[in-house]
Chains A and B, each alone.
Chain A
């Protein structure tokens, strides 16, 4: 009967459609992350427009810079987008942005790709960022060595008792593997800057956002996490860190980063395609001078 047949077709089509959506949605949600969080409505073709894109760590401070700069120099328009260090650098290599933000240095492959495109990227260090190791405020452990942190994150130490705390299992929290912070932490803390093949333990929880980490650290006395100093909220406890067991244990702070006593801090970068000129140069010069006071307000460490 034709009516029955049409019912079957409807179900089949509905199933196919649903399935199509199931595939598209994960892909879209991936793309959606690179949508602009922009400051200015930008026409795009105006010669006064500076396109700025990259690291999610830097995006807040980049937005603040753009807002202030545009207020001072209304003839310039600046569009700021997040998406991650890799996204920004790729866009700079493709020539679609003027300035790429990165919380890590460009990889050799990226530099090669840029040179293949006839671009020699220029690097600017625009601020410093301390990586704070955080635990729940009720956790009695308040100091760790880098070696201990490495052992914790590789799964060698699994109970807080082994570190002088309570008898509780350790729950490891990390940012997602696409984050520049993840790579920095792996190379400089877990691998302690050495050439090894240590990895995060498979049990490590990869949180999609800084909020994910702070929410878990806030409510779970078992948790340990790490994040940029600017993202640490008052309801998490920062751990003092020493390079070796007898060395001084230092809490992360702007001063400790500046005098070099806090061991895990990193520079934040901006990259331009070749030597900057005109408005882009003026903007970068402003960031490196007047712009530095905003860095402090957002919890990062200004350049000396």
Chain B
């Protein structure tokens, strides 16, 4: 991805050179305005979506009590709309998925960028991009028919449809994002850093671990955050393998018990809900929670970059 950014920068530089030559010209202004409008419209769309969510979701706060909304029972057919179990369910799956995908993804990125020979890199990169293209419903089906029975038998748990099964699939889905963003971050570390470290007598491993990775830290944090955003918003695969039981995941073995996530709840129930009912508004309320969470995660990812820049580091 960063390669693409670098490419854009090069074009921008080239264009800004041109601009100095022929400064005047209406078409230039028109195109610039168009691009600006298109850019800002993205933000506009997000705002509109958020406003829509608010409009549809806010009424639930007036239609039922706060006690009910933050209660522990999610039985929407009977207007028991406690969001706590599904909120915790989503978090449990996402955090576990990242705990699995973070070391794997970062180490894979290090391998591809720092260790692997040129030809291995050329083979691995496209393969990882293909991973990102596997539809989640295919992974979900695999999880349901292969992974779940395998986990049930090998771990001796009552059912294989658990938070852990979902976390494994999500980790798999977040990996391509984490690998490619982390790899771009490693790529952005100047060659001089490595040369200097090696010249000082550091081994390859010491160079990677003590110099290159810390220098790319902000990019790696971004990678994890984006991976997390991918994981928390994933719906189909999670719905197929986590069992969708809205229980409170508080006991120690919760990871190996079924849970229900917010995304699966919305997807499973939105199709049937009567428009304008309490349940309908509650589902949009869950959408608001999800939106705020992903927004926060992405904001953290963006601020990690900004902070690093302010400190005068790389990127």
Which A residues are closer than 8 A to B by beta carbons? 2-4, 6-13, 15-27, 29-31, 33-34, 83-87, 90, 110, 168-171, 176-179, 182-183, 186, 199-200, 202-208, 212, 215-216, 219-220, 222-223
The answer, yes or no, to whether B229 is at the interface (CB within 8 Å) is yes
The residues of A that contact B233 with a CB separation of less than 8 Å are 21-23, 25-26
Min CB distance B289 to A, Å, is: 11
User: Contact between B305 and A26 (Cβ–Cβ < 8 Å)?
Assistant: no
B229 and A19 contacting across the interface, CB-CB below 8 Å: yes
Binding site for A on B (CB under 8 A): 5, 8-9, 12-13, 16, 39, 42-43, 45-46, 49, 53, 73, 75-78, 85, 144-145, 148-149, 152, 158-161, 222, 226, 229-230, 232-233, 235-236, 239-240, 243-248, 257-258, 260, 263-264, 266-275, 287, 290-291, 294-295, 298-299, 301-302, 305-306, 309, 315
Chain A positions within 8 Å of B315 at CB level: 4, 7
Chain A positions within 8 Å of B270 at CB level: 26-27, 30-31, 33
Residues in chain A near residue B8, CB distance under 8 A = 6, 10
Are A2 and B12 touching (Cβ within 8 A)? yes
Q: Are A203 and B245 in contact (CB under 8 A)?
A: yes
Given contacts A171-B158, A204-B245, are A30 and B13 in contact (CB under 8 A)? no
* A23-B78 in contact given A8-B305, A83-B272 (Cβ < 8 Å): no
A27 to B263, CA, bound (A): 9
State the 10 A-B residue pairs at the shortest beta-carbon distance, nearest first: A30-B270, A178-B272, A22-B233, A33-B271, A84-B272, A15-B298, A205-B243, A202-B247, A169-B158, A206-B244
CB-defined A-B contacts under 8 Å, sample of 13: A11-B222, A13-B43, A16-B298, A19-B46, A19-B294, A19-B295, A22-B232, A23-B287, A24-B49, A199-B78, A203-B257, A206-B243, A208-B244
Closest Cβ–Cβ distance, residue B183 to chain A (whole Å): 15
Complex CA gap A292/B144 in Å reads: 36
Q: Are the CB atoms of B268 and A216 closer together than 8 Å?
A: no
With A13-B39, A202-B245, A203-B258 given, is the CB distance from A183 to B240 under 8 Å? no
Partner of A223, one of B42, B159, B244, B291: B159
Pair B42/A3 contact, Cβ less than 8 Å: no
- On whether the beta carbons of A212 and B144 are closer than 8 Å, the reply is yes
Task: Report the bound CA distance from A223 to B243 in whole Å.
Answer: 12
Give min CB distance, B260 to chain A, whole Å.
7
Closest-CB distance, A175 to chain B (whole angstroms): 10
Which residue of A9, A16, A17, A216 contacts B161 across the interface (Cβ within 8 Å)? A216
Instruction: From A23, A84, A200, A223, give the contact of B271 (CB < 8 A).
Output: A84
Name the B residues within 8 Å of A86 (CB-CB).
Answer: 272-274
| A176 proximity list for chain B (CB < 8 A) | 244, 268-269
Expressed in whole angstroms, the Cα–Cα distance for A215 and B149 within the complex equals: 10
- Provide the bound-state CA to CA distance between A27 and B275, in Å: 14
Q: Assuming the A-B contacts A12-B302, A22-B233, A24-B49, are A30 and B158 also in contact, with contact meaning beta carbons closer than 8 angstroms in the complex? A: no
With known contacts A33-B271, A220-B152, A202–B246 Cβ distance under 8 A: yes
Q: How far is the CA of A212 from the CA of B274 in the complex (A)?
A: 24
Q: A171-B158, A199-B75, A223-B159 are in contact. Are A206 and B236 (CB under 8 A)?
A: no
**Which chain A positions have C-beta within 8 A of B274?**
86, 90, 110
